């Protein structure tokens, strides 16, 4: 009979050191072992710590990368799918907490709870993880005012989700590092109003019109994304194509 364990309250998109992860999980800070390697199994849950786009401290670069809001991840060098531990990790009933970072000295960002949507029987094992929030609201959540899930583009261009770039946690983090977490339309600051509860919460908005995005498009998080509050995000998408940030800001100034 499976034990009903609490879900640890990691906030999707927030940063954590390994030590802060241990504190939240309730593990002594002096603990070593594979807590400080690529992944660890703790009381039936898995905790994945991976580098994205750069080698780890051991010098290995496995090619982990985000594909939209999914993470393509590789296990340890000799990992095999037929091992009991890997079978437990990719079991749909297992909780997998996924953390990533770009630099080997950076804190980790909580990417979300991972659900395997594709598992390749390779060495190392390759898993495509679909990411979702834990028990607390996700800082990646987007407004429901965006109609549907995809827009069909003309010619040879593919069908893409309007949310796919905005939901990429790596892109979101880079946007926030440059522009902060204050709404660039109305100036709303969640932390100032809600305190710790609102710390780090903000949506990100994609500036580039969908009609200009083709298969070869590469997102520049600093140039293409801006932090906006949920209300302004919804209002930006009340028009098709979306309103410009300056246009909406001017509307607010006029109404004020």
> If you write DSSP's letter for every residue of 38-85 in order, what string do you get?
SEEEETTEEEEEEESSS--TTS-----EEETTEEEEE--TT--TTSHH
Dihedral sign of CA atoms 127, 14, 56, 170 in order: positive
For the stretch 88-122, pLDDT in tens is 999 989 999 999 988 877 888 888 899 999 999 99
For the stretch 41-66, pLDDT in tens is 999 999 999 998 766 555 566 789 88
Residues 120 and 190 in one domain: no
Greater confidence (67 vs 179) lies with 179
Beta-bridge mates of residue 120: 126
Residues 27 and 126 in one domain: yes
Greater confidence (135 vs 183) lies with 183
Q: Is 238 exposed, middle or buried (0-12, 13-18, 19+ CB in 10 A)?
A: exposed
DSSP 239: S
Residues 156 and 124 in one domain: no
- Residue 59's pLDDT is 57
For the stretch 222-255, pLDDT in tens is 999 999 998 999 899 888 778 899 999 999 999 8
- Residue 39's pLDDT is 92
Look at residues 158, 162, 171, 164 and name the one whose alpha carbon lies nearest to residue 215.
Answer: 158
Residue 6 lies in a domain: no
Q: Is the pTM of this model over 0.75?
A: no
For 140, list phi and psi in degrees, rounded to 5: -100, -5
- Residue 10's pLDDT is 85
Residues 107 and 21 in one domain: yes
For the stretch 8-37, pLDDT in tens is 888 777 788 888 899 889 888 766 677 888
Residues 196 and 157 in one domain: yes
Look at residues 13, 240, 12, 212 and name the one whose alpha carbon lies nearest to residue 148.
Answer: 240
**How many separate domains does the chain show?**
2
Residues 172 and 101 in one domain: no
């Amino acid at each position: 009979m499976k034990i009903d364990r609490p879900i640890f309250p990691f906030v999707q998109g927030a940063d954590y050191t390994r030590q802060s992860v241990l504190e939240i999980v309730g593990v002594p800070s002096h603990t070593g072992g594979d807590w400080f390697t690529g992944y660890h199994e703790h009381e039936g849950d898995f905790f994945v710590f991976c580098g994205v786009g750069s080698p780890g401290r051991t010098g290995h670069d496995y090619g982990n990368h985000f594909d939209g809001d999914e993470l393509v991840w590789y296990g340890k060098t000799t990992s095999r799918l037929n091992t009991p531990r890997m079978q437990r990790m990719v079991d749909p009933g297992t909780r997998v907490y996924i953390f990533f970072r770009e630099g080997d000295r950076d804190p980790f960002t909580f990417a979300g709870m991972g659900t395997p949507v594709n598992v390749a029987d390779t060495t190392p094992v390759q898993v495509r993880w679909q990411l979702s929030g834990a028990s607390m609201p996700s800082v990646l959540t987007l407004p429901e005012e965006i109609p549907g899930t995809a827009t069909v583009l003309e010619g040879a261009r593919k069908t893409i989700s309007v949310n796919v770039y905005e939901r990429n946690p790596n892109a979101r983090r880079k946007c926030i590092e440059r522009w902060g977490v204050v709404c660039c339309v109305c100036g709303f600051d969640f932390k100032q109003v809600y305190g710790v509860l609102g710390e780090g919460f903000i949506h990100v908005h994609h500036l580039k019109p969908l009609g200009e995005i083709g298969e070869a498009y590469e997102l520049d998080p600093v140039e293409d994304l801006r932090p906006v509050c949920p209300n302004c995000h919804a209002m930006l998408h009340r028009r098709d194509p979306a309103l410009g940030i300056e246009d909406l800001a001017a509307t607010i100034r006029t109404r004020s």
